[in-house]
Chain A
């Protein structure tokens, strides 16, 4: 398998522009996660999906951020309008279904998208 695929790898845009980040999870994985990494705040979960349904979006910073998963093999994270404080590395991760308590749920991360908003 190719692993989690993210595009673009780098994005530079100007304040006010719309930005769309894309993710293709590993085939067969039921969970998809979007994280944001900054120096100040570290790694933060933005939202995650189970079987294409958003389960927890409490980490989405504000209404400018939206995420969709139209099918099992594709998800987008959109920022509209973008602001300089959105500059960060955005990771997508996926994991297979599993159970508690003795099993675990390794999350496989994509390479990330480095977003710079000028």
Chain B
């Protein structure tokens, strides 16, 4: 079974500052992928960034980077130079592949962190 834990229900950050959103995971899968999604108040789910368990380098996408620490089972999202439009819910999610080799294409989501950017 897979589990995603996001321990920060809410976070505040000053505009133009960097912020880190925490995500820890638990899995026994052979390989897995970690995702971050953004959900603004309008409700849609927007894909931000992906990290594969075998990727040696941390993923980056523009102002988003993923601080992946495999031994600690953490995959924190770092947003640099926060903007007012970054205010939203952020979800960490995981997709794994068990040792049996069968693929499992579902995502397991954390509870989310509500980020508020202060002008």
Contact = CB atoms under 8 A, between A and B. Distances in A.
B91 A43 contact: yes
A106 to B, nearest CB: 5
Nearest to A108: B47
Nearest to B96: A100
B111 A42 contact: yes
A14 B43 CA distance: 23
A112 B44 contact: yes
Q: Is the interface of A mostly helix, strand, loop or mixed?
A: strand
Contacts of B91: 43
Contact of B95 (A91, A102, A105): A105
A56 interface: yes
A100 B31 contact: yes
Interface string B93-118: 00101000001111111111000000
B103 A111 contact: no
B68 interface: no
A108 B47 CA distance: 8
B35 A106 contact: yes
Interface string B12-53: 000000000000000000110101010000011111001011
Contact of B44 (A48, A103, A106, A111): A111
26 contacts: A33-B106, A33-B107, A42-B110, A45-B106, A45-B108, A48-B105, A48-B106, A50-B105, A55-B105, A89-B43, A93-B45, A100-B103, A101-B52, A101-B53, A101-B54, A102-B55, A104-B33, A104-B35, A104-B50, A105-B95, A107-B107, A109-B44, A109-B45, A111-B44, A112-B43, A114-B43
Interface of A: 31, 33, 42-43, 45, 48, 50, 55-56, 89, 91, 93, 95, 100-109, 111-112, 114
